[in-house]
Amino acid sequence: MDTTIRNLDERAYRALKARAALTGRTIGETVNEAIQVYLARPGDHLRTGTLADLRPRPFPHGNERLSEEVDQVVYGG
């Protein structure tokens, strides 16, 4: 099936495309696998309530810049 997916994060898509190429797979094969893994997870992704009920969780001490460090490793800079 051919499907168009809109509003993908550009960086995430580029990383997915690169990983697919490195493993000799197509983007479609990689997306299908990701969907299957997501659907196989237990119902922890099924939540009740609203987004307003969600509260941020703090990073453990020493990981305040973790997101920036991951970006540095993945995307260089």
The answer to whether the CB of 20 falls within 8 A of the CB of 29 is: yes
Least confident of 2-6, 10-14, 27-31, 48-52: 48-52
Mean of the per-residue pLDDT values of the chain: 85
Which secondary structure element, helix H or strand E, spans residue 26, and what is its range? none
Between helices 27-40 and 10-22, what is the axis angle to 10°?
110
pLDDT for 44: 60
CA distance 22 to 16: 10
**Residues 11, 63: Cα–Cα separation, whole Å:** 22
**pLDDT category of residue 29 using cuts at 50, 70 and 90:** very high
Q: Which of 6, 18, 37 is nearest to 76 (CA)?
A: 18
